[in-house]
């Protein structure tokens, strides 16, 4: 399978809307709007245009020529400015094919080369074993677990903190 990370463009707007409306949201942050509208896509693509390659990396995940997900590395601020947070989502039909693992490998390489960071942090809800494994396969180390740190859909989850150093 050929996995590519493509820079987002306004031509990808329909793919963005489809991915954001169809992705499994069980372990995603609530800040991702639903339903994901044209306005949501316009706002996000404009934000990406202003930040990608400047202080962040945002990519569309392409598997065998098909858009299947999104991945990003966004630096934190203040005293945490040399740390960046990784986030990714993949359409559920594409799970367990190695796509997320390869996308994480590629974006970490890009981020460490292009951004002024020394580490990347991943936050994963404890029961999300697939996402935890993706990070572990890419050399992320479990650094700690914040107990009862996340409230999502009337459930409370522990939050696993993973880190990868440059």
For the chain, report the end-to-end CA distance as a whole number of angstroms. Answer: 27
Q: Model confidence over 112-154: pLDDT tens digits?
A: 999 999 999 999 999 999 999 999 999 999 999 999 999 999 9
Q: What is the pLDDT of residue 40?
A: 97
Q: How does pLDDT run across 47-74, given as a tens digit for each residue? A: 999 999 999 999 999 999 999 999 999 9
d(CA 162, CA 108): 13
Whether omega before 159 lies within 30 degrees of 0, making that bond cis, reads no
Percent of the chain with pLDDT over 90: 100
Please report which confidence band the pLDDT of residue 91 belongs to, taking 50, 70 and 90 as the band edges. very high
Q: Which residues of 16-39 are buried (b: 16+ CB within 10 A; e: fewer)?
A: bbebbeebeeebbeeeeeeebeee
Tokens of 82: 């040399």
Put simply, whether the predicted model's pTM sits higher than 0.95 gets the answer yes
How does DSSP assign 125-137, residue by residue? ETT-HHHHHHHHH
Stretch 66-93: mean pLDDT: 97
What's the confidence (pLDDT) of residue 64?
Answer: 98
**Which of 142, 165, 160 lies closest to 150, judged by CA?**
160
Domains detected in the chain: 3-121 (3.40.630.30)
Using CA atoms, how far residue 163 sits from 20, 45, 86, 118, 135, in Å, is 26, 28, 10, 10, 9
Q: Say how far apart CA 165 and CA 147 lie, in whole Å.
A: 24
The answer for residues whose C-beta is within 8 angstroms of residue 77's C-beta and 6 or more apart is none
Residue 73's beta-bridge partner residues? 57, 86
Query: pLDDT class for 31, splitting at 50, 70, 90?
Result: very high
pLDDT of residue 124: 98
Q: Average per-residue pLDDT in the chain?
A: 97
């Amino acid at each position: 399978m050929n996995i590519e990370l493509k820079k987002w463009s306004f031509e990808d707007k329909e793919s963005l809307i489809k991915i954001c409306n169809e992705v499994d949201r069980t372990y995603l942050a609530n800040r991702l709007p639903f339903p994901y509208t044209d306005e949501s896509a316009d706002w996000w693509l404009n934000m990406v245009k202003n930040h990608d390659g400047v202080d962040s990396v945002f990519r569309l995940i392409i598997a065998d020529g098909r858009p299947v997900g999104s991945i990003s590395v966004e630096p934190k601020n203040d005293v945490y400015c040399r740390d960046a947070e990784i986030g990714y989502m993949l359409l559920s039909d594409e799970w367990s094919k190695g796509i997320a693992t390869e996308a994480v490998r590629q974006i970490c390489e890009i981020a460490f080369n292009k951004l002024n960071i020394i580490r990347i942090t991943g936050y994963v809800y404890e029961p999300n074993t697939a996402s935890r494994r993706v990070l572990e396969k890419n050399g992320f180390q479990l650094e700690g677990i914040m107990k009862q740190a996340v409230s999502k859909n009337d459930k409370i989850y522990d939050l696993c903190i993973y880190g990868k150093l440059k």
